């Protein structure tokens, strides 16, 4: 489909859920042989096995809250979104949430709370979390707001409900930016895509809070920009091993060690790769490659899935995968509603 077509919205939201569900199998694994990834993904096609349904984790649980809040309020409403996070957590606490964020979610359910951003600020001795929990649920912001300034602003605020460290919320900004650009066909020119991401993040990271956090955490002055430059170097190499990707970009639970990695997974899998079957489409390659990196596989595959799905569209995603992932059908329905909201807003309505 063309820029911002329905198929791209559906592809993005559905592939994010698939990444989370199929990625759960390898979360935290250190060495994931490609054969194991392919075996796992093959078993999804094999319906006779009745492998059952793969459950989604906190990544999708929180993204669903974001989607429902944006759709219900037809804009960003931090009170409403915070309430939904808290309610979702209390009704289903076993989805694999990060150990720190649980404190925030408990505080958010208190009726006495006056500032919904305060619990996040209290995390980690007052500096806030740099985990990837804000980024993992950022894609819907790109699917709700046509205007890039809105995407950046609301992705940041949405993340700040749990992640007040700039290295946390700027991961969400980067993820939403990547989905926004992909939705508009920017991955047709990969070099320009990465240059555009770097240019946008240059602006985002030109900020005092970023400089402070970077200094305290001993990171480069503009941490995400520095990582994106590494992504650009890696994507232009003729051969790159999984070990190199892990050591250059990371595969961990910090936003800084996972969002640029997810962007790289998408870029690396734009062409067919000999480690994957020829029958694989782009979304399948991207998710498979994300799993092969090990580490925070559900989240990296979820984020890479959202970016890739916005590029390739829903038609490239196997039905058999959709059928065995919890929440994938729901995501498809929500995507249609987001598509409507998006195009209403872009007509100034």
- Applying CB under 5 A, the residues found at the interface with Mg ion are 57-59, 96, 296, 298-299
227 binds ligand R7I (CB under 6 A): no
Residue 179 CA neighbour count, 13 Å, CB half: 36
119 binds ligand R7I (CB under 6 A): no
Of 127, 115, 86, 91, the C-alpha closest to 103 is 86
CB of residue 252 vs Mg ion: minimum separation in angstroms?
Answer: 10
DSSP three-state, residue 131: strand
CB of residue 279 vs ligand R7I: minimum separation in angstroms?
Answer: 29
By a kind-dependent CB cut-off of 5 to 8 A, residue 98 interacts, out of ligand R7I, Mg ion, none, with ligand R7I
Nearer to ligand R7I, 133 or 313 (CB): 133
Which residues are 325's β-sheet partners?
54
Tell me whether residue 59 is annotated as binding. yes
Q: Which parts of 59-78 interact with ligand R7I (CB under 6 A)?
A: 59
96 binds ligand R7I (CB under 6 A): yes
Q: What share of the chain is helix, strand, coil (3-state, %, to 5)?
A: 70, 0, 30
Among 131, 260, 309, 313, binds ligand R7I (CB under 6 A): 131
Integer Cα distance of 201 and 131 in angstroms: 18
User: Secondary structure of 58-116 in the HEC alphabet?
Assistant: HHHHHHHHHHHHHHHHCCCCHHHHHHHHHHHHHHCCCCCCCCCHHHHHHHHCCCCCCCC
Tell me whether residue 213 is annotated as binding. no
Any idea what DSSP says for residue 56?
P
117 binds ligand R7I (CB under 6 A): no
Q: What does the binding site for ligand R7I look like in residue numbers (CB under 6 A)?
A: 57-59, 96, 98-101, 124, 127, 129-133, 136, 165, 253, 296, 298-299
Binding region for Mg(2+): 57-59, 296, 298-299
């Amino acid at each position: 489909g063309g820029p911002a077509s329905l198929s791209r919205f559906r592809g993005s939201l559905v592939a994010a859920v698939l990444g989370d569900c199929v990625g759960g199998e390898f979360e935290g694994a250190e060495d994931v042989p490609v054969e194991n990834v392919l075996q796992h993904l093959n078993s999804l096609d094999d319906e006779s096995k009745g492998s059952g349904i793969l459950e989604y984790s906190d990544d999708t649980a929180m993204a669903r809250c974001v989607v429902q809040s944006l759709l219900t309020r037809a804009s960003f409403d931090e009170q409403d979104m915070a309430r939904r996070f808290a309610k979702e957590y209390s009704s289903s606490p076993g989805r694999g949430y990060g150990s720190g964020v649980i404190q925030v979610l408990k505080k958010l359910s208190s009726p006495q709370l006056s500032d919904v951003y305060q619990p996040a600020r209290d995390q980690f001795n007052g500096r806030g979390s740099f985990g990837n929990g804000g980024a993992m649920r950022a894609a819907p912001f790109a699917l709700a707001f046509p205007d890039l300034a809105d995407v950046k602003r609301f992705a940041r605020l949405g993340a700040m409900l749990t992640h007040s460290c700039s290295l946390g919320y700027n991961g969400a900004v980067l993820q939403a930016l990547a989905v926004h650009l992909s939705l508009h066909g920017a991955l047709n020119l990969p070099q320009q895509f990465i240059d555009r991401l770097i240019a946008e993040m240059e602006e985002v990271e030109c900020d005092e809070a970023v400089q402070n956090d970077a200094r305290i955490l001993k990171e480069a002055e503009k941490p995400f920009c520095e990582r994106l430059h590494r992504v650009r170097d890696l994507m232009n190499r003729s051969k790159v091993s999984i070990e190199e990707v892990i050591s250059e970009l990371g595969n961990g639970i910090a936003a800084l060690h996972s969002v640029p990695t997810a962007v790289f997974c998408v870029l690396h899998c734009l062409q067919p790769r000999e480690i994957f079957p020829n029958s694989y489409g782009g979304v399948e390659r991207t998710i498979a490659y994300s799993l092969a990196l090990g580490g925070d596989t559900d989240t990296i595959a979820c984020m890479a899935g959202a970016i890739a799905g916005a590029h390739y569209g829903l038609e490239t995603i196997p039905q058999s995968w959709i059928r065995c992932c919890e929440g994938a059908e729901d995501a498809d329905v929500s995507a249609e509603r987001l598509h409507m909201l998006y195009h209403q807003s872009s007509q100034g309505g």
